[in-house]
Structure 1
Amino acid sequence: MAKKHGKRLKSLEVFGCHALTAPCMTYMARECPNLQILNMGRLPKITDTCLAQMMSNLKSLRSLNVTGLTVIRDRVLHHIVRQCPKLERLTISSCPLLTDVSLIEISTYLQTIQYLDVSGCKKVTDTGVQALAMSCHQLQYLDLSSTETGHRGVCLLASYCKNLECVKLSFCKEISQDAVKKLCKSCIKLKLLHLYGCRTMYDLKAIKDTNKNVKVHHDLSVHSSHQA
């Protein structure tokens, strides 16, 4: 009976369940091959071997959240995107070992991805963003907060990712106001823009005037101190 119900399971939320072990999650993946949504962030006992075994059984996944899994590195991400080609939503935030190589993998194997969160992946730069911009044209949501994304990366997104609706660039130190204005002007579907901690933004009004439909979230205290 348990196996029968397992095959029917479509969604599983175990975020932050610290007691869950690698063998437990491997067994779950084997018994729930039709799972489409899996949120397994902040599970400290998960290993890279466990993840590889899980993804080999979860080929129907459409949404995956592995926030804060320190075992996630480029070679693990490579296995995920190869084994789960139906992924439309991927959250890999706060995975400090990931680099631009992972974004290149995503741009190669998940070209129809719509939602991507790489916030806090401090080794991600414009090189990885360029790969996304050139290949992932269905992106609607992109969180690059606290990465090394800069002026060039934002300009490339503006040129090629016309379906973007939400972009988060908070605490990206190298972005420029001109690049952000280009993003707002070119991406006419854009509705939400996060610019917290972006000290290079000196004229919010100019950004907002570029696209009246964009709601800009910004740390105004940072803006004021910059003006002072």
Structure 2
Amino acid sequence: MVRQQNGVEMNGHGRKTKTPDIALAPIRNGSSSSNGHPSSSSSTWKMSRVFSESDESLINRKLPKELLLRIFSWLDIVALCRCAQVSKSWNVLALDGSNWQKVDFFEFQVDVDSGVVENLARRCGGFLKNLSLSGCQAVGDSALSTFAQHCNNIEKLDLQSCKRLTDRTCQSLARHCPKLQVLDISSCPPITDQSLKALGHSCPMLTSINISWCDLITVNGVRVLTEGCANLKIFIAKGCVSLGDEALFNIARFCPEIELLNLQGCRNIQDEGMLEIAERCSKLKYLCISNCSHVTDQTLLSLAIHCPNLVTLECAGLSQLTDAGFQALARSCHYLERMDLEECILITDASVSQLAAYCPSLESLSLSHCELITDDSIRHLGSSPCSSETLTVLELDNCPLITDQSLDHLMNCHNLQRIELYDCQLITRAGIRRLRNHLPNVKVHAYFAPVTPPPSSGGTRQRFCRCCVLL
């Protein structure tokens, strides 16, 4: 997992063995005044008092203190903590609350415990607006309660996989953080409907929520949440098997501004709920209904009529979808960029031909396990407007009718970055080499089963198995 470095947001694959020391010295905590802005009373931190007149450091004497503070604002967590140990004056500047408006503990998730979060909350106070504790499994309700009381200007909070958190955390956030806009509580198993009810009653500015894999959440919590958060634009509920059509009715009724809806694995979803979403949520741009096995072409036909701005559709594993639904969708939704049709086993070349003809912005297309797809589909795709302009990813795993001719048809796809060809038995190494000669930057993922060796001649028993190599 890679995260873009911006300000103090962290970037890292590994995990550090030492938690950044954020408990060094008092700092300006950004306490809010009655008008919602940091207090400017005489008791607050004064820039003019940071440095003494006898300070001998050249940088401290030459640069204005405001400029030094601005420089520190570009440093990440580790650099800020190191600067804080240089001198008393730098300690004050580095740990100033204005430098800690956005904090991501991804690199330190193993070591971050409740004490770190509590110290951070007391130091940053009203300055902190964006905090990610994703994967910090040692953090509990007590720390988040302290955090909510001190950081009441928080807008974005990521608590993904903080498995010790319960409804108490969301109730504290609802009580103290009315400006909360984005909340991720996915993979927090103890969370129940009580959390959604508290948020629905007290966080009207909420625009995005992720409750994926929270198995205890039901339609009752979704109903209260949607009633109170009419501005909700992003609703992610992967793996919430208790949610069905009634939950979709509430989303469609109270949150017509929904743009992103992810219902992957919500196997109780049926066409009735999806029709309501399509009819009432015309701004929908991203829809994932993968593994919602009851959905049929009725949903696609309704999306084609009511959701012309659809950009991404993920419907992997929906074995009831046919060419009729996808052809209608392609003819109406011309902004489609990403399509995941893996294991939509009934679709044929007709669907791909329509997508190629009517969707010039297509970037990513997955046709894996669509066993009726032939070279004719790829021929249309290779000669379409999207082929030379936008197409970057094509997945054709387990398409047994695809041959080297398909690779020849793709040679005009100059922006193609990746193609998947696992278990395409009619694809050869020679075909892949020709494609790579024309598109040297494309990554080809393929697998060729080892050739079965002929039976040994003679009646003597082999001393070594065929896979052994003697040096």
Is the TM value for this pair above 0.5?
yes
Distance 1:222 1:26 in 2: 48
**Identity rate, percent:** 25
Distance in 1, matches of 2:244 and 2:237, equals 11
Q: Greater shift after overlay, 199-208 or 67-76? A: 199-208
In structure 2, distance between residues paired with 1:54 and 1:9: 13
How does 1:175-194 map onto structure 2 within 5 Å? 175-194=347-366
Query: Aligned equivalents of 2:199 and 2:352: distance in 1?
Result: 43
The answer to whether the Cα contact below 8 Å between 2:256 and 2:282 also exists between their aligned partners in 1 is: no
Give the equivalent residue in structure 1 for 2:233. 62
| 1:178 to partner: Cα distance | 2.0
Q: Which residue number in structure 2 is paired with residue 20 of structure 1?
A: 191
Aligned to 1:167, the other structure's residue is in SS state: strand
SS of 1:127's partner is helix
- The equivalences for 1:10-159 within 5 A come to 10-147=181-318, 148-159=320-331
CA contact (8 A) 1:90 1:115 kept: yes
What residue in structure 2 maps to residue 206 of structure 1? 379
SS of equivalent to 1:179:
helix
**One-letter amino acid of the structure 2 residue matched with residue 172 of structure 1:** C
| Deviates most, 23-32 or 122-131 | 23-32
- 1-side partners of 2:331 and 2:177: how far apart? 44
- Equivalent in the alignment of 1:223: 424
* SS of match in other structure, 1:142: strand
Do the aligned residues in 2 keep the contact of 1:103 with 1:129 (CA within 8 Å)?
no
Q: Which letter does structure 2 place at the counterpart of 1:107?
A: A
Q: How far off is 1:68 after superposition?
A: 1.3
Structure 1 portions without partners, runs of 5+: none
**Cα distance in 2, alignment partners of residues 207 and 199 from structure 1:** 17
Structure 2: which amino acid aligns with 1:24? S
Report SS of the residue matched to 1:107: helix
Deviation at 1:208, TM superposition (A): 3.5
RMSD (Å) for aligned C-alpha atoms:
2.0
- Kindly indicate whether the alpha-carbon contact (under 8 Å) linking 1:185 and 1:210 is maintained by their aligned counterparts in 2: no
Mark the CA change 1:22 to 1:159 in structure 2 (over 3 Å): closer, same or farther.
Answer: same
Deviation track 1:163-208 (CA, whole Å, cap 9, x = no partner) reads 1111111110111112112111211111111112111122264243
Alpha-carbon distance change, 225 to 28 in structure 1, aligned in 2, over 3 angstroms = farther
Q: Which residue identity is paired with 2:394?
A: V
Q: Which amino acid in the other structure matches residue 198 of structure 1? A: C
The one-letter code sitting in structure 2 at the alignment partner of 1:216 is L
CA distance in 2, matches of 1:95, 1:216: 26
Shift in Å, 1:118: 0.7
The equivalent residue for 1:8 is: 179
Are 2:316 and 2:342, in contact at CA under 8 Å, matched by a contact in 1?
Answer: yes
Unaligned runs of 5+ in 2: 1-148, 153-173, 398-420, 429-471
* Amino acid in structure 1 at the alignment position of 2:314: D
Residues 2-50 of structure 1: per-residue CA shift (max 9 Å, x gap): 5575211110011111011221332123221111111111101112212
Deviation at 1:226, TM superposition (A): 10
CA-CA distance at 1:161 after TM superposition? 0.7
Query: Aligned to 2:339, what secondary structure does the other structure show?
Result: strand
8 Å CA contact retained: 1:36, 1:62:
yes
Q: What's the secondary structure of 1:7's corresponding residue? A: coil
Corresponding residue SS for 2:209? strand
The runs of at least 4 aligned residues of structure 1 exceeding 6 Å deviation read none
Q: Which has the higher contact order (CA 8 A, sep 6+)?
A: 1
Aligned equivalent of 1:166: 338
